[in-house]
A and B are shown apart, each in its own frame.
Chain A
């Protein structure tokens, strides 16, 4: 892969990569992401309005 290309790309820190599979943190994120998605579903259902 082109080093010049990747030199200017944002990369995650080791701590960020660690958190991605750190179970306690991911259990919390599982709940948080589900809540965000439920909010989107709820709002989209409002958009499926009765005219």
Chain B
């Protein structure tokens, strides 16, 4: 059983179905009826795509593939079963509130993040004063708001745009970065750039950190930090920036934030796209006798404990080997987590606290390529365990794998650009690469039109793969 049909869960389910025999069943439990290729939500958010271009219904795809689909949200794990039967199950709740038991032999928790707009007063598009691009409908709202702003600027008004993260512990700065440079490109394209004041607000200590502790690139005889390239792009595009910020309140037209030096500041805006912090989705776990065991399976941030080293330790003692390899629960050998649902052992970026004790540092990103790779490795391990292996057979440590990332910086087939980046490994390994934690021959980045072509190609290839169309498994994660 796979909980969640995002990048990790969908990949795991598809490969498990392919590798398992006809006598085995693969069931996906997910509350949403559609798959969403999240990276392209950025283009929905600036009005270049409709939500239908980045989503498709899961049910027909799963029916064709022979995967059972339960459209419901997982609420409770019962890994020991209950007093009636010892077989483990999940309590799933459908949209009408009906709760049902769904039994499993092996479980992959790929429930992704809960979007915690509630962590910052006034944050978010539903009950707050800011916009988001986390979901297709959020992105469509942002695009509609952008259209209104453009109309006002065409009438001669000056408008202020604020883009970034809405809390000191957010992750996914890369997605917000993509949004701000696409926004700037679109405003130029629509002929109103001179009337827009655009500001980036982030919890990063330096620009270009992206929750990965930044990266270092060999260029023109120097090893240069990513902050230089990020600041360069912002300066070139006329984008101002605020770093080391914890947004704690979003009022209509104004954010209040604390900076790492303890100062309280504010920034006014007419349009704000601020990403929320994440947590796990709040699954509860129960033993056979009904006693709650949530804290044995999950950390307080509601992400699932796996084979990582969660012992608290100072930054100087963090090791690449702290990061999980098999993603198996230490409590139950038939339970795994994949993608954002697994609990990282600690951040990747250097931790910082303000004098008031406020944590202002990015959480580690676990999206895209690593999520899919983890989903696939977990599926392979489970298939092998069903075949008789006693322990997980495959690993996918973020401290051992690299990632390729293409961040759109303006979408046009002839004048657009994107930043193409690779890092190896994702989590720096200072024992293997003492100077910078990464292999500098395989960590690179550059901006150009070629990156935009690659971004377009990846959009179509990954949607083809997710639809499980012919040849899908040949497209790498």
| Contact between B232 and A44, CB atoms less than 8 A apart | no
Min CB distance A26 to B, Å, is 4
13 pairs from A and B in contact (CB 8 Å cutoff):
A11-B235, A21-B414, A27-B450, A30-B450, A33-B420, A37-B420, A37-B422, A37-B454, A40-B403, A44-B369, A49-B394, A49-B395, A51-B391
Q: A23–B238 Cα gap in the complex (Å)? A: 25
**CB–CB A5/B240 < 8 A:** yes
**Known contacts A10-B231, A44-B373, A48-B395; A20 and B449 CB within 8 A of each other:** yes
B371 at the interface (CB under 8 A from A): no
The number of residue pairs between A and B whose CB atoms lie closer than 8 Å in the complex comes to 105
A37, chain B: closest CB distance, angstroms: 4
Partner-A contacts on B (CB < 8 A): 228-229, 231-232, 234-236, 238-240, 326, 369, 373, 376-377, 391-397, 400-404, 414-415, 417, 420, 422, 424-425, 442, 444, 446-451, 453-454, 476-477
C-alpha spacing A40/B231, complex, angstroms = 26
Contacts of B401 on A, CB cut-off 8 Å?
A: 43-44, 47-48
Asked whether A47 and B400 contact (CB < 8 A) given A1-B239, A9-B235, A37-B422, the answer is yes
Give, as a whole number of angstroms, the nearest-CB distance from A31 to chain B.
8
- Contact residue among B239, B393, B417, B453 (Cβ-Cβ distance under 8 Å from A50): B393
Contacts of A49 in B (CB 8 A): 394-395
Docked pose: A20 CA to B392 CA in angstroms: 45
Asked if A47 meets B454 with Cβ closer than 8 Å, knowing A10-B228, A20-B448, the reply is no
B404 touches A20 (CB 8 A): no
Point out the residues of chain A lying under 8 angstroms from B394, CB to CB.
48-51
In the bound complex, residues from chain B placing their C-beta under 8 Å from that of A43 are: 401-402, 424, 442
Question: Smallest CB–CB gap between B319 and chain A, Å?
Answer: 16
A25 to B447, CA, bound (A): 12
- Bound: A17/B232 CA distance, A: 12
Q: Which residues of A contact B453 (CB under 8 A)?
A: 26, 30
- With A11-B232, A47-B396 given, is the CB distance from A33 to B450 under 8 Å? yes
B49 to chain A, nearest CB (A): 22
Q: Determine the chain A residues whose CB is within 8 A of the CB of B326 once the complex forms.
A: 51
Q: How far is the CA of A21 from the CA of B240 in the complex (A)?
A: 24
Query: What is the CA–CA distance of A9 and B477 in the complex, to the nearest angstrom?
Result: 36
